[in-house]
A and B are shown apart, each in its own frame.
Chain A
Amino acid sequence: MNNGEREEFIRVDGRKPDELRKYSIRAGILKNADGSAEIKLGKNWIVVGVYGPKEHFPKFEALQDRAIINCRYHMAPYSTTERKSPKPSRREIELSKVIRTALEQAVILEKFPEMSIDIFIEVLQAEGSTRVASITAASVALAEAGIPLRDMIVGCSAGKVNGQIVVDVGEAEDKDGEADLPIAVMPNLKRVVLLQMDGKLTHEEFKRAFEIALKGAYELYEEQKKALKKLIEEMSLVQEQEGDEDE
Chain B
Amino acid sequence: MSKEFKGKTLAEILRIEQTRNYLMKGIREDGRSMWDYREIKIEVGTVEKAFGSSTVYLGDTVVVTGVNFELGTPFQDSPDSAILLVEGEILPTASFEAEAGPPDEYEIEMSRVVDRSLRESGIIDFKKYAIIPGETVLKIFIDFNILNDDGNIIDAAVLGAVSALATADMPDINYIRDNIDEVSNINIKEVPRTKFSIEEIPIANTIALYNGKMFVDPTAPEEEIANSLITFTHLATGEICSIQLLKGSLSYEEVFTALDKAYEKSVEIRDKLSEMGIIKL
User: Is chain B in direct contact with chain A in the complex (CB below 8 A)?
Assistant: yes
- Are B100 and A86 neighbours in the complex by a CB distance under 8 Å? no
Using CB atoms, name the residue of chain A closest to B93: A49
Task: Tell me, yes or no, whether B67 is within 8 Å of chain A by CB.
Answer: yes
- Are A86 and B143 neighbours in the complex by a CB distance under 8 Å? yes
CB within 8 Å for A51 and B60 given contacts A76-B143, A78-B50, A82-B187: no
Task: Tell me, yes or no, whether A77 is within 8 Å of chain B by CB.
Answer: yes
- Are B93 and A76 neighbours in the complex by a CB distance under 8 Å? no
Task: Tell me, yes or no, whether A24 is within 8 Å of chain B by CB.
Answer: no
Selecting from B146-154, B230-238, B255-263, the interface stretch reads B146-154
Complex partner residue of B48 from A33, A118, A125, CB under 8 angstroms = A125
Complex partner residue of B70 from A32, A33, A83, A120, CB under 8 angstroms = A83
CA distance A83 to B47 in the complex (A): 12
Complex partner residue of B96 from A51, A74, A86, CB under 8 angstroms = A51
CA distance A164 to B183 in the complex (A): 33
- A-B residue pairs, 10 tightest by C-beta: A78-B66, A49-B93, A77-B143, A78-B50, A83-B68, A120-B92, A31-B60, A120-B93, A32-B95, A72-B100
Task: Tell me, yes or no, whether A43 is within 8 Å of chain B by CB.
Answer: yes
Using CB atoms, name the residue of chain B closest to A87: B102
- Are B64 and A76 neighbours in the complex by a CB distance under 8 Å? yes
Which residues of B, 67-99, contact A by the 8 Å Cβ criterion?
A: 67-68, 70, 87, 89, 91-96
CA distance A128 to B65 in the complex (A): 21
Complex partner residue of B148 from A30, A78, A126, A127, CB under 8 angstroms = A30
Using CB atoms, name the residue of chain B closest to A82: B187
Task: Tell me, yes or no, whether A47 is within 8 Å of chain B by CB.
Answer: yes
Task: Tell me, yes or no, whether B145 is within 8 Å of chain A by CB.
Answer: yes
Measured CB to CB, the closest approach of chain A to B162, in angstroms, equals 16
- Are B145 and A32 neighbours in the complex by a CB distance under 8 Å? no
- Are A78 and B68 neighbours in the complex by a CB distance under 8 Å? yes
- Are B92 and A78 neighbours in the complex by a CB distance under 8 Å? no
Using CB atoms, name the residue of chain B closest to A54: B96
Using CB atoms, name the residue of chain A closest to B94: A32
Task: Tell me, yes or no, whether A102 is within 8 Å of chain B by CB.
Answer: no
| Residue interface mask B204-238, A partner, CB < 8 A = 1 | 00000000000000000000000000000000000
- Are A31 and B187 neighbours in the complex by a CB distance under 8 Å? no
Task: Tell me, yes or no, whether A201 is within 8 Å of chain B by CB.
Answer: no
CA distance A71 to B47 in the complex (A): 24
Which secondary structure dominates chain A's binding surface?
Answer: loop
Using CB atoms, name the residue of chain A closest to B49: A125
CB within 8 Å for A76 and B66 given contacts A33-B93, A36-B93, A86-B143: yes
Task: Tell me, yes or no, whether A112 is within 8 Å of chain B by CB.
Answer: no
Measured CB to CB, the closest approach of chain A to B63, in angstroms, equals 11
Using CB atoms, name the residue of chain A closest to B92: A120
- Are A122 and B91 neighbours in the complex by a CB distance under 8 Å? yes
Which residues of B, 27-59, contact A by the 8 Å Cβ criterion?
A: 46-50, 53
CA distance A45 to B102 in the complex (A): 23
Which residues of A, 114-149, contact B by the 8 Å Cβ criterion?
A: 118, 120, 122, 124-127
Which residues of A, 7-63, contact B by the 8 Å Cβ criterion?
A: 30-33, 36, 43, 45, 47-49, 51, 54
Point out the residues of chain B lying under 8 angstroms from A127, CB to CB: 49
Task: Tell me, yes or no, whether A79 is within 8 Å of chain B by CB.
Answer: yes
Complex partner residue of B89 from A86, A118, A125, CB under 8 angstroms = A86
- Are B100 and A80 neighbours in the complex by a CB distance under 8 Å? no
- Known contacts A43-B49, A124-B64, then 16 further A-B pairs from the complex at CB < 8 Å, ordered by chain A residue: A30-B148, A31-B148, A32-B96, A32-B149, A45-B46, A49-B92, A76-B143, A83-B68, A120-B91, A120-B100, A122-B91, A122-B93, A122-B147, A124-B47, A124-B145, A127-B49
- Are B67 and A78 neighbours in the complex by a CB distance under 8 Å? yes
Measured CB to CB, the closest approach of chain A to B101, in angstroms, equals 9
